[in-house]
Structure 1
Amino acid sequence: MAEQPVEGTKENQEKENRLPRVQKGKKKLVLLAGGLFLLLVTMGSILFFFPSILPDGINPFHKDASTEAKKPEPLKQGHIYSLDAMIVNLADTEFSRFLKIKINFESEEAKPSEEFDKHLPQVKDAILTILTGRTFAEISDSKGKGKLKEEILLKTNQLFEQFKLKTVYFTEFVVQ
């Protein structure tokens, strides 16, 4: 009676053949991914529980004797010299602005030096000269304050022969 065309059966057979191939491909991919995952977990576990099998260069748990012996030296703190608070006019032309500043210096030496006390008037003069030449815009941000510290340190160190300051600290800094 009614026979199905040959072409229709071939198409149906091709569709049926495609489905198992896709499923076989997925199975292979899942098995491959599972095997790779299992291998990585096994290797990680072995290295975690038995780190001694790693070479010394890449073993994160191996403590080298040379790194234990090299501890950073504590920083030497020099003597701190404090100046009285100073009030200066800033170089602003629009408004009359004042700066109240208290400065401390740290020397390279731990002992106090008489040379600093001898040159104290020159130190104060150098600081006043630097500060009165600045505007509010120049010293209002942290970069400006950093530049100001560098300039004060440079000018004050030029006043001394053997004595050297290493750091400038602003312990009070108020602009009004």
Structure 2
Amino acid sequence: TEEAPMGTIYSLDSVTVNLAGEGARRYLGVTFFLELDGAEAMKEIEELKPFLLDSLITLLSSKRLEDIDTIEGKNNLRREIVAQFNERLVRGRVINAYFGKFLIQ
């Protein structure tokens, strides 16, 4: 079976947020690579970057440790990010999001 070719890859800025929840403060540091459907999507991501980073920070800081500390939780988060970014994009699409760094402290 042949794999489909990868789309254009865009490296998103590293983000560090406080996780939601009671008790001790936990931090999440992440870096994402976005797989895009082409050059138009790349241009649009650049134009919308401040808004996309803001929505990413809001989404990440709403998560509790137990929401994201499993493989299933990370995969759900990845899908949420793709869906959230695609709601804003008009000319292009995010195909997938990949973790470059995922650090919980």
* TM-score with structure 1 setting the length: 0.56
Number of matched pairs: 104
Map residues 70-149 of structure 1 onto 2, 5 A cutoff: 72=1, 74-109=3-38, 111=39, 113-149=42-78
In the TM superposition, residue 74 of structure 1 has moved relative to its aligned partner by 4.6
Where in structure 1 are there 5+ consecutive unaligned residues?
1-71
Task: Write the distance in 1 (CA, Å) between the matches of 2:9 and 2:67.
Answer: 27
Task: Write the distance in 2 (CA, Å) between the matches of 1:94 and 1:121.
Answer: 31
2:84 paired with 1:155: yes
Instruction: Indicate the residue corresponding to 1:167 in structure 2.
Output: 96
The structure with the largest alpha-carbon Rg is 1
4+ residue runs of structure 1 moved beyond 2 angstroms? Answer: none
Task: Write the distance in 1 (CA, Å) between the matches of 2:19 and 2:3.
Answer: 39
Considering fraction of residues, name the structure with more helix.
Answer: 1
Task: Write the distance in 2 (CA, Å) between the matches of 1:157 and 1:100.
Answer: 22
Q: Percent identity?
A: 29
Structure number with the bigger relative contact order (C-alpha 8 A, sep ≥ 6) is 2
SS at match of 2:74: helix
